[in-house]
Structure 1
Amino acid sequence: MDASPWQPPGRTSESKAFHTHQIKKLPEETPNDERDVFISYSGEDRNAVAKPLAKMLKKAGVSVWMDTYELRIGDSLFEKINDGIRASRFGAIILSPAFFRGPWPLKELGACYAKQVEGQYILQIWHGVTKADILTRFPLLTDYVALRTGQYTIEEIATQIVAVVQPNSAYEAEEDEEDEKPSPA
């Protein structure tokens, strides 16, 4: 009779050792994993707000974590998003009616708020919501200044985020630079 421990069908002691080795050898954190801003949004707001904002921030030299840039087939959503929030210095949260309906955005908000307790972290962008809407759902968030897409363009919002994330940056949206140039005489 064989004295070796029972193995599930198809699993040898060699494959068990391989899997154990893989679990113990997690990738080390590297500075390349760090990001300035994690963008949290509902998929319904991707094209109207999230992508243009990410594009403007990247153009200004801000490193951005956004699911469309980071997630690949086979990735664990929970792990990748958790890593993105952990590795980002700020969270740009696009609060909208669609945001409140989705389970993932609300999970991201919870994780970002937990990080907020450690210091300045959440940068709120209100898209199609009012202070009353936020007060009804998340009263603690109304204590922080937010930018509304109905009052500011995406470029203006990006400029204000850059001012917080990179306070020594001289970045201004192109439209603002063109407006400030003297007109030819």
Structure 2
Amino acid sequence: MGFADIDMQDARDLTFTGRVYLYSEQPVSAQLKEQINSKSELQGHSLIFRSVEYVEQRNKFEKPQAFISHDSRDKLEIAQPLAIRLQKLMCPVWYDEYSLKVGDSLRDSIEKGLKECQKCVFIITQNFLSNGGWSKREYDSVFTREIIEKRNVIIPIWYNVTPKDVYSYSPILADRVAVDWSLGIDKVVNKILPAINA
């Protein structure tokens, strides 16, 4: 392929380095890795695994660009798919499954994530609006951060809520331009990614 005045090159003329990346959203056992590696080596391939362990290791060295705030009841349907999609697009996120380890202080870790992230994505659902616990504390913390930093940090995603619902929770939050989850995850991510990077 080529662009403008760059010469075209046929893919059949390219040299294959033998390096193959295998991505998995689930942990891969050491035994399975060894089996696949053995077969790959016989064919002259160098196999590199990228799975949950890789994401966890990478997150230790990268500050999150986005903090994903959600009610735990919305984890599987909305928060987890969103976190996975953003990670795939090289947008490191603070997401409890990726960022918390056994023994961590929940409060310290959340506060650190809220302070370090570029933006905070709030998944606004009926569950979120009725939660007076962590979700409310996270919103209050980020709202305070916006006042101190004098800039917008909140990126809202609405899921089966009305402007009136959101207004009852927070008039300021209802004033924010939000993206509706009903558009589908691809369109949601395409809309929020530029806002996260802004």
Query: How does the TM-score come out when normalised to structure 1?
Result: 0.69
2:186 is aligned to: 155
Mapping of residues 5-20 of structure 1, within 5 Å: none
Percent pairwise identity: 29
- Distance in 2 (CA, whole Å) between partners of 1:123 and 1:69 is 20
Q: Point out 4+ residue stretches in structure 1 off by more than 2 angstroms.
A: none
Deviation of the 1:53 alpha carbon: 0.7
Deviation of the 1:59 alpha carbon: 1.1
Structure 2 counterpart of 1:109, which letter? Y
- Distance in 2 (CA, whole Å) between partners of 1:45 and 1:162 is 20
Structure 2 counterpart of 1:163, which letter? P
Unaligned 5+ runs, structure 1: 1-30, 168-185
1:105 is aligned to: 135
Mapping of residues 64-143 of structure 1, within 5 Å: 64-102=93-131, 103-117=133-147, 118=149, 119-143=151-175
1:177 is aligned to: none
1:41 and 1:93 in contact (8 A); partners too: yes
- Distance in 2 (CA, whole Å) between partners of 1:65 and 1:99 is 18
1:125 and 1:146 in contact (8 A); partners too: yes
Return closer, same or farther for 1:166/1:137 CA change in 2, 3 Å cut-off.
closer
Q: Secondary structure at the match of 2:156?
A: strand
2:129 and 2:166 in contact (8 A); partners too: no
Deviation of the 1:128 alpha carbon: 1.6
2:49 is aligned to: none
Q: CA RMSD in A?
A: 1.5
- Distance in 1 (CA, whole Å) between partners of 2:197 and 2:122 is 18
Q: Secondary structure at the match of 2:65?
A: strand
**Number of aligned residues:** 136
Which of these two proteins has the greater Rg computed from alpha carbons?
1
Deviation of the 1:47 alpha carbon: 0.9
2:33 is aligned to: none
2:196 is aligned with 1:165: yes
1:23 is aligned to: none
